[in-house]
Amino acid sequence: MNYDDNCIFCKIGRKEITSAIVYEDDEVLAFLDVNPVSKGHTLVVTKEHFKNFNEVPKNLISKVFSVAQMISQAQIMELHAAGCNILTNINEAAGQTVMHFHVHVIPRYDQTDGFNLDFTPKAIGTFNLPIVAGDLKKGLSVSYTHLRAHETRHDLV
Ligand code: AMP
Ligand code: ZN
């Protein structure tokens, strides 16, 4: 199992640093963020060290998101959150500060609870969407085949 001696989340996974754990199994750990943006803000991590979302094997991604769903449901049932944001940052450009994959599960109480996702949309036509979609499809290998099959099925309907 990958482990980084200098990684704070690896240390939490090995209980070398304490945290408020809310869920644990062999592969996944969920604990409260030490600097919560709202009450119950939880981080779900793989115990194994991966730098970010894009580096994690798909079977583990599924497990992490399955746990994130349970946490979100518990936040709404037990903390009486009105909603939840699920977020993972990839690389510094996206705000990642801890370079060990983690998913933020952020309960929302109302739109003035201190958390703000500021989407500023570009005007329609700023990007040529078919060209952008074409470029992205070039980057999909396995999924590309799936997309093409999906398009074909629509063509036939
Ligand atoms: P990100 O900006 O997505 O990399 O988020 C990293 C998060 O880890 C931040 O929200 C920090 O508050 C949180 N964090 C850093 N150190 C700890 C720690 N020892 N225990 C719990 N959360 C932590
Ligand atoms: Zn780590």
Query: Which atom of ligand 1 has the smallest separation from the CA of 33?
Result: 22
Q: Which of 102, 104, 146, 150 is catalytic?
A: 102
Ligand nearest to the Cα of 98, by number: 1
Task: Kindly list the protein residues that place their beta carbon closer than 5 angstroms to ligand 2, a single-atom ion.
Answer: 4, 7, 9-10, 49, 100
Query: Which atom of ligand 1 has the smallest separation from the CA of 98?
Result: 4
Alpha carbon distance 7, 141 (integer Å): 32
CA 126–ligand 1 middle distance (angstroms): 35
Q: Per-residue pLDDT tens, the chain, 157 aa: give them.
A: 999 999 999 999 999 999 999 999 999 999 999 999 999 999 999 999 999 999 999 999 999 999 999 999 999 999 999 999 999 999 999 999 999 999 999 999 998 888 888 889 999 999 999 999 999 999 886 554 454 565 555 444 3
Alpha carbon distance 48, 6 (integer Å): 13
Query: Are the beta carbons of 22 and 32 closer than 8 angstroms?
Result: yes
Query: What is the token pair recorded at 57?
Result: 């094997």
CA proximity to 76, closest of 102, 104, 108? 108
CA 42–ligand 1 middle distance (angstroms): 10
Query: Which atom of ligand 1 has the smallest separation from the CA of 17?
Result: 19
Query: What is the token pair recorded at 60?
Result: 């583990």
Query: Are the beta carbons of 32 and 41 closer than 8 angstroms?
Result: yes
Ligand 1, pocket-test mutation among 34, 49, 52, 104, most atoms within 8 A of CB: 34
Query: Are the beta carbons of 84 and 54 closer than 8 angstroms?
Result: no
